[in-house]
Amino acid sequence: MPLRAGIVGLPNVGKSTLFNAVSTSVKAQASNYRFCTIEPNVSLVEVPDPRLQQLAACVHPQRIVPTVIEWVDIAGLVKGASKGEGLGNKFLSHIREVDAIVHVIRCFDDPHIIREEGPVDPVGDKEIIDTELQLKDLESVEKKIQRVEKTVKSSSDAQMKKEFEILLRCRQHLQQGKNIRTLSLTDEEKKAIADLFLLTAKPVIYVANVDENSMLTGNAYTQALAQAIAEENAEMVIMNNSIEAQIAEMESEEDRQMFMEAYQMKEPALHRLIRSTYHLLDLITFFTAGEKEVRAWTIHRGWKAPQAAGVIHSDFEKGFIKAEVISFEDFIQYGSEAACREHGKLRMEGKDYVVQDGDVMHFRFNV
């Protein structure tokens, strides 16, 4: 299953335009009215990685297969969504299913684009969405507290009491208007609330949708937003969603380069957004390289060789024996697996090997 990034925000902030920019297979309707998107649009998006082409130049495979992220365009939330306003409950359920939230926030002035909330206010917009997600999480936490409290009173189970204390901390944090991702929890404590799939525990990337003049430097709106998210484990990408959508529509690489040069862009901001998603989720890439294909695979940083093998096929993990590993730098320097082997750059690694970003791997297994 590919990782899922859900695009959220208030109506008319540029969510569907962003989705159209990242998507190459599905186009979302983008219109100047509320709830243009009702059912979420979904698209698999290739992750740009120049290392694939470099490996292919050495191996000359039949095909090149990049890794992908699944992007989900979720309908605009409104104030009162946690209570069902604007079909809010339905939309909030879609957010539960994603790994990371891409929160699009309007950071530009345009009198022709409807904004029912009044003057442009990025921080206020962020707080509206935060509040709705916090209220929904508080509802989930309260329900579990009621269930666990009865057991705690009639039991001496130390683990259950510890879980109850964690729930009380979460409730207090949410009641203070704070997101769960800003609450200091150990990995073990996080497991205690994992079954709740709390919305405010999910990692967030803020997309500051700006006008053309602010694409490279930002503006007062983006500065205010950056200050508001300073204490969160979050990232912010400044971009003009409309410009990105235009770049994505161009079939010619030459046309794209000329267009970006006109705006003094070194690369599409979408590439920065995808890299930010990887960084936020603490993901890395390893490769397999052979005559049939050169392929990129996504795993979490810190995963060991058998877990990485399991991403390719569950049998690889079950019957894992050894992994043949060549660093990306060595593979490019020597030009082939055979040359790396000859120069002692191919290593045999066991079950405890922690996979590194860029490793070129071949797995030995037996089932």
Annotation: binding site for ATP: 12-17
The encoded tokens of residue 183 equal 């609450």
Amino acid at 178: K
CB 50 within 8 A of CB 296: no
How buried is 71 (Cβ within 10 angstroms: 0-12 exposed, 13-18 middle, 19+ buried)? Answer: buried
Dist CA 150 CA 172 (whole Å)? 19
CB 66 within 8 A of CB 46: yes
Beta-carbon contacts of 146 under 8 Å, excluding residues fewer than 6 positions away, are none
The two most distant CA atoms of the chain are separated, in Å, by 71
Sequence ranges of the binding site: 12-17
Torsion of CA 335, 337, 343, 346, to 10 degrees: 130
